[in-house]
Amino acid sequence: MLKKILALLMVVIFVCCGCGKKQDEPMANDLNTILKRDKLIVGVKTDTYPFGFLDKKGHYSGYDAALARIIARGILGSDKKVEFVPVSASDRMMKLYSNEVDMIIATMSITSKRQELLDFSMPYHTAGQALLVKKGSSVKSLRDLNGKRAIIVFGSTVETSLRTAVPNVGVIGYRNYPDAYKALKAGKADAIVADDTILLGMALKDDSVVLLPKRYTKERYAVAFRKGIESRDLIRAVNNVIDIETRKGNLKKIKADYGIK
């Protein structure tokens, strides 16, 4: 009797520990999870016009949100099958790794440092770092910021690159782009350094600020995923959608709608 009980206990422990898993059982796969859920959960910005922002009715808008809807249509058959979660430059990776979102579409550039922690889709847009200054400013280039103050947004690529490019710049960081813009207007610094597309969004609405013409980097925006084999099928599906929609000219059309070049 005791032997029988021991044997039964062994079987229970074996199964509970997952040792009884069949060889051909599928591994965790993010695409399967999304298909089963029948909904895509995407992290997008709400402070980054014209890529991720809320319109007057509080709807998620911009190129990144539109791309998320297109991906939902490609994978799940309807652009309504998407739920948005607001992310910022500094918390987007955390929201991906805490499984709050399936992917991030949030003006995120591919960098080699980020590639150690994330997987990326093919790029869907190329931006470049630039300067936004007040009209009449003596700052005409990145070099002119030496000994002056510049505004950046925490978690953005420029946060790490600016001090290397301009060693004697005083850096003031903000959590989001609207606060960065307000700080420039209030004269807290001489320029905002950020992606041209984001700065253009500010310049288009306000002719007291100027986007300077020079671009200092190439920022290739891509959809970001958790790094690992479980993302492989999902990345393939997303790349497929980006590829098809690019060839159809649909992504170009969306960009034009938002004034993105």
* CB-based contacts of 170, cutoff 8 Å, min separation 6: 148, 149, 150, 189
Q: In whole angstroms, how far apart are CA 116 and each of 27, 55, 103, 217, 226? A: 22, 35, 16, 20, 11
Least distance (Å) from ligand GLU to the CB of residue 179? 13
- The C-alpha angle 157, 160, 166, rounded to 5 degrees, equals 110
Residue placing its CB nearer to ligand GLU in the complex, 31 or 130: 130
Binding stretches for ligand GLU (CB under 6 A): 89, 106-109, 153, 156-157, 195, 219
Quote the CA–CA distance of 112 and 167 in Å, as a whole number: 22
Take residue 21 and report the two structure tokens written for it: 């898993």
Q: Closest residue (Cβ) to ligand GLU?
A: 156
Residue placing its CB nearer to ligand GLU in the complex, 40 or 153: 153
List the one residue out of 254, 227, 222 whose CA is nearest residue 238.
222
Helix axes 232-248, 30-37, angle to 10 degrees: 70
Residue placing its CB nearer to ligand GLU in the complex, 34 or 201: 201
192 pairs with which residues across the strands? 132, 151
Residue placing its CB nearer to ligand GLU in the complex, 82 or 108: 108
Least distance (Å) from ligand GLU to the CB of residue 45? 7
Least distance (Å) from ligand GLU to the CB of residue 41? 19
Answer yes or no: are the C-beta atoms of 62 and 197 closer than 8 Å.
no
Take residue 156 and report the two structure tokens written for it: 């953005």
Residue placing its CB nearer to ligand GLU in the complex, 107 or 231: 107
Least distance (Å) from ligand GLU to the CB of residue 121? 14
In 78-231, where does DSSP find H-type helix? Answer: 92-97, 112-115, 157-165, 177-185, 196-205
Answer yes or no: are the C-beta atoms of 197 and 127 closer than 8 Å.
yes
Least distance (Å) from ligand GLU to the CB of residue 183? 15
Least distance (Å) from ligand GLU to the CB of residue 11? 51
Quote the CA–CA distance of 49 and 259 in Å, as a whole number: 10
Contacts 24+ apart (CB under 8 A), 22-25: none
Residue placing its CB nearer to ligand GLU in the complex, 68 or 108: 108
Least distance (Å) from ligand GLU to the CB of residue 219? 4
Does residue 175 sit in helix, strand or coil? coil
Least distance (Å) from ligand GLU to the CB of residue 57? 24
Residue placing its CB nearer to ligand GLU in the complex, 102 or 219: 219
Residue placing its CB nearer to ligand GLU in the complex, 30 or 195: 195
